């Protein structure tokens, strides 16, 4: 019977990664019981009772641990070929009372299969269990709000509420019953591990909560994937406060780094082999031509476009999520990339004329335009409506490499940190999050920079009646022919120089605006 088999699973599965067999260690989460330590393949209770005999060792020896791992591996290796395939896992786990779907088993094999042969050898199996148990321990500690080594229904309700998922205490008790083997209506570490150890967990709540890839830190780029908001934040109206705080932080950040942004645009458009523009020379030229105030040309419209772009991107992102049809609170990486890229394309299409205006205003000479409206009228009368969409194609093409590499690098850095440093908590702290976000965003900018440069040059080019229209392909060829590959990265230095101050300023302003607006920290 399944129930009888399940009792066998405890001494075998629970003892797999027992770090210590003493009664003292058995009481703490993260350790296994004394009887588990002797479980090479026999029975025995899963808990260390008062009469348990200590093993007398501070830490289990490596040979003893390997024996238990080997015993479990052999139980699961049904066809005795020295490797675990999906069929082996299905039959072996079924005999232990651990019934998994074929999709779950496929995920287990995929997660541990380093040599991509479709099965797990002993070393891959051990590595998978160690990595998986580490994640499970982090989740257990995050759910154990009372820090008593047990999880009850109230703690499950509170933890899910923190993630924006509301459930009743009765629903929480139902979750508990599925894992609770001794009828106490609480789950200790051994029960938690027994239930989840050979079960794939993709969206671990604690890790999602701390490692949400926040795009609230404004680095002046418009191609990032929108921020995720929980159900509770959407229902209570906290989402718009987050957006307002982020918009305010972006406005201050962009204003403080505007001179570097204008220098970047000037270098993208005017710098060449014959006109080599350095950073100090560029600033000197701007001040000589228009005084210190000229350093902020184009900043006004750059700040104005934050509000409509953020609002359109957020609304589009939410609608695309519904269209995708996912029922998950948090999207998977490829779903975020798809939804975020489409939302970014919609938002950029809506406000793109403002992008063209920003470039023209940044490049204008003293007295050329009286203001933004005058600039818009001038473009419309002399070049027509099509001029407001110059550079549109390279701008749209730049979304995919930027958003894709940004997300991929962030996930890689996140997983590296969790593997190496996450011991008692998955909370990385503010500085680690800022560093990961800055590095990933910088990598995204680097990948899409040639497209951004071509876009800016196309935006800057005033149409002359009778002159041939410059195409994206033609401009790429011209730059490569006259300036080489280096020409596609003109203005990269001031662009990267503004990243760290932009992130730092936006973070400080964002935190202060959050307090002013009454937003609780996530």
**Could you tell me the pLDDT band of residue 163, with boundaries at 50, 70 and 90?**
low
Token readout for 256 is 């403080």
Q: Report the share of the chain in percent with pLDDT over 70.
A: 72
Average pLDDT for residues 13-42, to the nearest whole number?
38
Which residue did the predictor score with more confidence, 153 or 490?
490
Residue bearing tokens 């040639």: 450
Does 327 have pLDDT greater than 50? no
Q: What are phi and psi of 446, to 5 degrees?
A: -60, -40
| φ and ψ of 245, to 5 deg | -60, -40
pLDDT category of residue 162 using cuts at 50, 70 and 90: low
The pLDDT tens digits of the residues spanning 442-457 come to: 898 899 999 999 999 9
Q: What mean pLDDT do residues 184-190 have? A: 83
Residue 400: per-residue pLDDT:
82
Question: By mean pLDDT, which of 177-181, 330-334, 379-383, 400-404 is the weakest?
Answer: 330-334
pLDDT band at 311 (very low <50, low <70, confident <90, very high): confident
The answer to whether 289 and 263 are in contact (CB under 8 A) is no
Nearest residue to 344 (alpha-carbon basis) of 291, 406, 428, 275: 406
Residue 199: per-residue pLDDT: 66
More confident residue, 11 or 218: 218
Q: Is the pLDDT of residue 76 over 70?
A: yes
Whether 163 and 329 have beta carbons less than 8 Å apart is answered as: yes
Judge whether 249 and 216 are in contact, CB under 8 Å.
yes
| Amino acid 47: pLDDT | 40
Calculate helix-pair angle for 430-460, 499-517, nearest 10 degrees.
Answer: 110
CB contact burial 444-480 (16+ within 10 A = b; e otherwise): bbbbbbbbbbbbbbbbbbeeeeeeeebebeebbeebe
147: left (phi over 0), alpha (psi -120 to 50) or beta: left
Task: Check pLDDT > 80 for residue 8.
Answer: no
Region 402-408: mean pLDDT is 82
The Cβ-side half-sphere exposure at 75, using a 13 Å CA radius, reads 24
Number of continuous H segments (helices) and E segments (strands) in the chain: 25, 2
**Residue 30, pLDDT above cutoff 80:** no
The whole-angstrom separation of Cα 405 and Cα 330 is: 19
Confidence (pLDDT) at 67: 79
For 102-147, the DSSP string reads HHHHHHHHHHH-SS-SSSB-HHHHHHHHHHHHHHHHHHHHHH-TT-
Of 20-34, 211-225, 270-284, the range with the lowest mean pLDDT is 20-34
Greater model confidence, 196 or 359 = 359
Tally the C-alpha atoms within 13 A of residue 397's C-alpha that lie toward its C-beta.
Answer: 15
- Cα 157 from Cα 172, distance rounded (Å): 6
Amino acid 255: pLDDT: 92
Q: What is the pLDDT of residue 235?
A: 61
Report residue 236's pLDDT band, with 50, 70 and 90 as the boundaries.
low
pLDDT at 145 over 90: no
Q: Taking the mean position of all CA atoms in its chain, how far away is CA 494?
A: 26
Provide long-range contacts, Cβ within 8 A and 24+ apart, for 159-166.
159/205, 160/205, 161/232, 162/209, 163/205, 163/208, 163/209, 163/230, 163/329, 164/229, 164/230, 164/231, 164/232, 164/233, 164/234, 164/329, 165/230, 165/231, 165/329, 166/231, 166/232
Among 39-43, 134-138, 288-292, 359-363, name the one with the lowest average pLDDT: 39-43
Q: Are residues 96 and 75 in contact, defined by beta-carbon separation less than 8 angstroms?
A: yes
Read off the pLDDT band of 295 (50, 70, 90): very high
pLDDT at site 23:
34
Range with lowest mean pLDDT among 35-44, 251-260, 276-285, 324-333: 35-44
Extended beta strands in 121-242, E state? 150-151, 187-188
- With b for 16 or more beta-carbon neighbours within 10 A and e for fewer, the 256-289 pattern comes to bbbbbbbbbbbbbbbbeeeeebeeeebbeebeee
- The pLDDT value recorded for residue 258 is 93
Confidence label for 361 from pLDDT (cuts 50, 70 and 90): very high
Helix (H, G, I), strand (E, B) or coil at 225: coil
d(CA 185, CA 94): 25
**pLDDT for 211:** 53
- Greater confidence (303 vs 246) lies with 303
Q: Would you place residue 265 in the very low, low, confident or very high pLDDT band (cuts 50, 70, 90)?
A: very high
Q: How far are the Cα atoms of 392, 433, 455, 475 from residue 471, in angstroms, in the given order?
A: 11, 40, 10, 6
State the pLDDT at residue 465: 52
Sign of CA dihedral 135, 140, 141, 145: positive
Closest listed residue to residue 56, CA positions, set 85, 78, 84, 34? 34
Q: For the CA atoms of the chain, what is the radius of gyration?
A: 29
Which of 163-177, 241-255, 275-289, 300-314 is least confident? 163-177
**Average pLDDT over the chain, rounded to an integer:** 75
> Quick count: other Cβ atoms within 10 Å of Cβ 252?
19
User: CA-CA distance, 510 to 181, in Å (whole number)?
Assistant: 47
Q: First vs last Cα of the chain: how many Å apart?
A: 45
Tokens of 13: 């599965």
Report which of 50, 47, 72, 23 is spatially closest to residue 187, judged by C-alpha positions.
47
Report the C-alpha gap between 437 and 431 in whole angstroms: 10
Q: Which of 492, 254, 203 is nearest to 362 (CA)?
A: 254
Residue 377, both tokens: 């009228």
């Amino acid at each position: 019977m399944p129930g009888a088999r399940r009792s066998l699973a405890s001494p075998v599965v629970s003892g797999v990664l027992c770090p210590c067999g003493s009664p003292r260690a058995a009481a703490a989460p993260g350790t296994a019981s004394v009887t588990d330590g002797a479980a090479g393949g026999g029975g025995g209770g899963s808990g260390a009772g008062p009469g348990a005999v200590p093993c007398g060792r501070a830490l289990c020896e490596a040979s003893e641990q390997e024996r238990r791992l080997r015993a479990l591996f052999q139980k699961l290796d049904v066809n005795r070929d020295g490797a675990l395939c999906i069929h082996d896992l299905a039959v072996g786990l079924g005999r232990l009372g651990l019934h998994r779907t074929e999709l779950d088993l496929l995920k287990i094999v995929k997660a541990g299969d380093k040599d991509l042969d479709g099965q797990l050898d002993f070393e891959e199996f051990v590595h998978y269990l160690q990595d998986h148990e580490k994640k499970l321990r982090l989740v257990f500690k995050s759910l154990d709000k009372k820090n008593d080594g047990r999880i009850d229904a109230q703690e499950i309700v509170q933890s899910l509420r923190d993630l924006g998922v509301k459930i009743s205490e009765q629903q929480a008790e139902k979750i508990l019953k599925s894992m609770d083997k001794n009828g106490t209506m609480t789950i200790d570490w051994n029960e938690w591990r027994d239930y989840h150890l050979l079960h794939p967990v993709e969206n671990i709540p604690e890790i999602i909560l701390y490692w949400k890839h926040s795009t609230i830190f404004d680095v002046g780029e418009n191609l990032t994937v929108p921020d995720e908001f929980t159900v509770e934040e959407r229902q209570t109206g906290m989402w718009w406060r987050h957006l307002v705080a982020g918009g305010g932080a972006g406005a201050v950040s962009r204003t403080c780094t505007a001179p570097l942004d204008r220098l970047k645009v000037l270098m993208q458009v005017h710098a060449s082999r014959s006109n080599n523009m350095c950073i100090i020379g560029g600033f000197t030229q701007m001040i000589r031509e228009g005084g210190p105030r000229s350093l902020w040309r184009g900043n006004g419209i750059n700040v104005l476009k934050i509000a409509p772009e953020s609002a359109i991107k957020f609304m589009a992102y939410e609608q695309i999520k519904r269209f995708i049809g996912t029922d998950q609170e948090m999207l998977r990486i490829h779903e975020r990339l798809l939804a975020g890229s489409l939302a970014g394309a919609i938002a950029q299409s809506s406000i793109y004329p403002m992008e063209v205006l920003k470039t023209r205003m940044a490049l204008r000479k003293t007295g050329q335009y009286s203001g933004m409206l005058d600039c818009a009228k001038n473009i419309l009368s002399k070049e027509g409506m099509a001029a407001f969409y110059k550079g549109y194609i390279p701008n749209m093409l730049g979304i995919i490499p930027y958003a894709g590499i940004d997300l991929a690098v962030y996930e890689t850095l996140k997983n590296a940190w969790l593997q190496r440093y996450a011991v008692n908590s998955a909370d990385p702290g503010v500085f680690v999050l800022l560093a990961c976000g800055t590095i990933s965003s910088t990598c995204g900018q680097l990948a899409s920079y040639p497209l951004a440069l071509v876009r800016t040059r196309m935006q800057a080019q005033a149409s002359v009646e009778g002159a041939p229209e410059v195409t994206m392909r033609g401009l790429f060829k011209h730059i490569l022919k006259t300036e080489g590959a280096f020409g596609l990265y003109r203005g990269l230095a001031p662009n990267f120089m503004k990243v760290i101050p932009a992130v730092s300023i936006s973070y400080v302003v964002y935190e202060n605006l959050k307090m002013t607006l009454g937003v609780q920290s996530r």
